[in-house]
């Protein structure tokens, strides 16, 4: 009897095992890369929170979901008009606040006669007459790292006017609200 030329059964089996191990290694690498990419995206862009309360109406509504970009403020600070998400005094055990930045570090903030003044200029975000000036009843000059934030529905908002919250520092800010989601996760659009 003649032996057939070619690989023996054990050689074929070793080659098949080697091929399977290479495939498993390749799949494992792709899965790990996808998981790493997903974690990075979620950390920088994917923070999703629910708006609680009526303080941001008519821009955002209670129960509405928003996406928060943590990446926005790594190199720069918030800008006037940005809607930011922050934790009171940086406390990670409290709920997140969602408010609009109305004044930046170094600005003078004053609320008189129901109007918001920043650097002696009236600022209008469509506020009704501001009924409670809070700590801004007398002019406040913001420190180097402080931001003055208010709810768009200012007469139903606990914000920087409250002695309990006061000006918000950059390390308290978790990110910028940049996208609002609707019911059943249908996209509503970018937040202005």
CA nearest to 183, candidates 64, 45, 55: 64
Higher per-residue pLDDT: 188 or 74: 74
| Distance linking the first and last C-alpha atoms of the chain | 84
Query: Could you tell me the pTM of the whole model?
Result: 0.74
Q: How does residue 111 score in pLDDT terms, banded at 50, 70 and 90?
A: very high
Would residue 26 show up in a list of annotated catalytic residues for this protein? no
Angle made by CA atoms 101, 182, 78, in degrees to the nearest 5: 15
Mean pLDDT of the 70-83 span = 88
Mean pLDDT of the 5-11 span = 63
According to DSSP, the residues that pair with 149 across neighbouring strands are 101
pLDDT digits (tens, 9 = 90+) for 79-88: 999 999 998 7
Which one of 69, 96, 99, 160 is the catalytic residue? 99
Would residue 12 show up in a list of annotated catalytic residues for this protein? no
CA nearest to 162, candidates 149, 171, 152: 149
Say how many residues make up the chain.
192
CA nearest to 60, candidates 187, 185, 186, 177: 177
Look-up of token digits 């180097």: 144
Which one of 55, 69, 96, 157 is the catalytic residue? 55
Are 102 and 123 contacting, i.e. CB atoms less than 8 angstroms apart? yes
Q: Which of 34-38, 68-72, 182-186 has the highest mean pLDDT?
A: 68-72
Per-residue model confidence (pLDDT) at position 185: 41
């Amino acid at each position: 009897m003649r032996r057939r030329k070619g690989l023996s059964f054990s050689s074929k089996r070793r080659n098949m095992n080697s091929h399977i191990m290479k495939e498993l290694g390749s799949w494992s690498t792709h899965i790990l890369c996808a998981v790493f990419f997903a974690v990075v995206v979620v950390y920088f862009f994917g923070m999703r929170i629910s708006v609680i309360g009526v303080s941001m109406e008519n821009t955002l509504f209670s129960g509405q979901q928003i996406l928060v970009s943590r990446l926005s403020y790594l190199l720069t600070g918030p800008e006037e008009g940005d809607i930011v998400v922050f934790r009171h005094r940086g406390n990670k055990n409290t709920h997140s606040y969602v408010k609009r930045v109305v004044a930046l570090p170094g600005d003078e903030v004053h609320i008189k006669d129901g109007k918001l003044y920043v650097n002696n200029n009236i600022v209008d975000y469509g506020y009704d007459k501001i009924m409670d000036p809070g700590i801004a009843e007398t002019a406040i000059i913001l420190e180097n790292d402080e931001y003055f934030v208010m709810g768009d529905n200012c007469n139903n908002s606990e914000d920087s006017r409250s002695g309990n919250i006061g000006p918000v520092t950059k390390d308290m800010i978790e990110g910028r609200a940049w996208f609002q989601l609707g019911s059943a996760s249908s996209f509503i659009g970018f937040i202005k």
